Structure 1
Amino acid sequence: MSDTRVHKGLVIDAPWISLILAGQKDWEMRSTATSHRGWFGLIWKGLGCVYGVARLADVGDSLSPEQMVKTFEHHRIPEEMIRSGAVAKWNKPWHLVDVIRLPTPVRYRHPNGAVTWVELSEAVSVAIEEQLALQNSAPMPTDHADQEALSFQSERRTIGESVLTSGNLTHKHIYLRNFFDRFPKDAIGGSNKQQAATREITISWRNGAQVVTDLDGTKKLFRARGWIGSFFQHYDAQAGDRVVVEELAPYRYSVRLEK
């Protein structure tokens, strides 16, 4: 990647952004074209963070439903969604190349009214640049098997389990009260964002997806909750299922669901 800083971010919803970050999707389907070409940040909708960067190489012509069906390997939209008309207006492919996942997501402030492109502050641009430098300096595994081996070499311990209730599923949160004292005290804030903690934790949950958040010390919940609906949906969560929280390293955790 060149030394040019990333000053613009694109808001992308799940599951599409996770497919882009995993290298499984290189067309982002949009309803309109854009004049932008070059690097931009990949913003996970609802999570308040830039999760990676990519380069927009080109914007293609609008595709017919038949053309979209034939190019599934690029955009990953299932045929049934295409033929149902659910994505009819999102038929213009933005061609992405050189996708890079950041080692740690970078928080940004979402401006009022921004729906597609977001202008990133200088501080966020610098933080992204620093994350890219960290990634470039770190040794990378050569294949998926090596990645799996490295992930299991790290010390991890279960700090607690939370049994899901119908209220959790409805309101998209996870109770942490039974083991809340096992989180670092400086990552625990007050009841609102204005009383956020001085430190944040990173949560990993699926295919490397990460969330950066502090903890609400009043409600004893993860403060960032935009990802939890996707977590429940991915695992087909039901009342009575257990969410297991593991500590991977200081200020780094994973969550998984067990039936």
Structure 2
Amino acid sequence: MKISKGLIIADPWIGYILDRSKTWEMRSSSASHRGWFGLIRKGTGAVYGVARLVDVGAPLSPAEMISVFERHRIPEGMIRSGEVAKWNVPWKLDGVLRLARSVPYRHQSGAVTWVQFDDAVSEAIARQLNTPSETDVSVPPSPRAVKTTSHEPRRSSLAPAEHAVHASQLSSSSSRTAGALIGEVTLTQGNIDHNHIYLRSFFERFPEDAVGGSNRHERARRDVLVEWGGPVPVRTDLDGSKRFFRARGWIRDFFVSNEAQAGDRVRIEETAPYCYRVSLKKRAR
């Protein structure tokens, strides 16, 4: 398969596409192209994955965009504010694959929608696509659609797959580097029974733009990535009212796999910007 063109997409939208929680890339105009293209992370000069453009929908009204949040991942607040008013044409994607190694390309001068790749770039992409790798493993489908965009976050606890990212997709710094300690907290039986970890004593150490309101309709502008020792890290924002991670489905598995008991301590480390590692320290018995 030859990929001859690419599309530049900014964070966090390209991240959502690569972890397959976003299937519509919202653009300001239609496209005649159908088929495969490269996913270029804005500002990096490199291709990070590939996707297939299968269809382009009609422009959506703000109300329509809000109703299909799970497709594009743009928060309701951004839509209502008019900040993304012109980005209302859904480019519908399928078959997303993350490359094991990003492929640099030479960007031609001038503003263009599609970036044309030279043969060397196309061949470098093709070599990775023709070689089986852990990036070819599918993320399990969400058991239920949730509201989500091409411009930002929001996830429901009803759709755990929306929070999951393959461990291979973590940056090497987040999975291998010793992290900076954010804080430690002692578990109570209530934490274990209700699947949450209180972050109150060090909550101010998390970035402000990753802190949302008290419910899923008040999500933060940005998510954090949590590595907890399981097969898949988790994307979530933080509940600013209750002061814990909003996504909590993974916490039960974390407690079970570590045989957590009241009195044990949970350690939170920052391994990279917006990336955290959660581990358990057993209480001396």
Q: What is the TM-score with the length of structure 1 in the denominator?
A: 0.56
- Say whether the 8 Å CA contact 2:19–2:165 is kept in structure 1: no
Q: Residue 58 in 1 paired to residue 50 in 2?
A: no
Does residue 100 in structure 1 map to residue 97 in structure 2? Answer: yes
CA 1:84–1:138: 2 relative to 1, 3 Å: closer
State yes or no: 1:68 paired with 2:65: yes
SS at structure 1 position matched to 2:90: strand
Show the 5 A alignment for 1:170-181. none
Please report how far the alpha carbon of residue 51 of structure 1 lies from its aligned counterpart in structure 2 after TM superposition. 0.5
Letter in 2 for 1:116: T
Does the alignment pair 1:80 with 2:81? no
Deviations 1:148-207 (A, max 9, x none): 59x9xxxx764797xxxxxxxxxxxxxxxxxxxxxxxxxxxxxxxxxxxxxxxxxxx958
**Cα distance between partner residues in 1 of 2:72 and 2:103:** 25
Structure 1 partner of 2:12: 15
| Structure 1 CA distance for aligned equivalents of residues 103 and 270 of structure 2 | 25
What is the deviation of 1:119?
0.3
Give the CA deviation at 1:137. 8.5
Q: Does 1:28 align with 2:25?
A: yes
Q: Which residue type is aligned with residue 18 of structure 1?
A: G
SS in 1 for 2:53: strand
SS at match of 1:135: coil
1:39 partnered with 2:28: no
Gaps of 5+ in 1: 162-204, 209-233, 236-241, 246-253
C-alpha offsets along residues 54-78 of structure 1, whole Å, 9 cap, x if unaligned? Answer: 1101110000001001111110100
Contact 1:141/1:147 (<8 A) preserved: no
Bigger strand fraction: 1
SS at structure 2 position matched to 1:29: strand
SS of equivalent to 1:134 = coil
Q: Please state how far the C-alpha of 1:134 moved relative to its aligned partner.
A: 2.2
2:46 aligned with 1:49: yes
Percentage of identical aligned residues: 51
Q: Describe the shift of the 1:21–1:140 C-alpha distance in structure 2 as closer, same or farther (beyond 3 A).
A: closer
Call closer, same or farther: CA 1:137–1:89 in 2, change over 3 Å.
closer
Mind listing any 5+ residue stretches in structure 2 that lack a counterpart?
141-160, 181-223, 228-236, 239-268, 278-285
CA RMSD between the two structures: 3.8
Q: TM-score, normalised by structure 2?
A: 0.51
Q: How many residues align?
A: 171
Structure 1 pair 131–207 and aligned structure 2 pair: CA distance change class (3 A): farther
Kept in 2, the 8 Å contact 1:103–1:135? The answer is no
Q: How many Å separate the matches in 1 of 2:67 and 2:27?
A: 17
Contact 1:20 1:26 in 2 (8 A): yes
CA distance 1:132–1:87, shift in 2 (3 Å): same
1:93 and 1:148 map into 2 onto residues whose CA distance is 29
Is the CA contact 2:226–2:276 (under 8 Å) kept in the aligned structure 1? no
Instruction: Specify the code of the residue in structure 2 equivalent to 1:82.
Output: I
Q: Is the 8 A contact 2:100 2:135 kept in 1?
A: no
| Superposition deviation, residue 115 in structure 1 | 3.7
CA distance in 1, matches of 2:74, 2:139: 29
**Is residue 19–residue 166 contact of structure 2 (8 Å, CA) maintained in 1?**
no
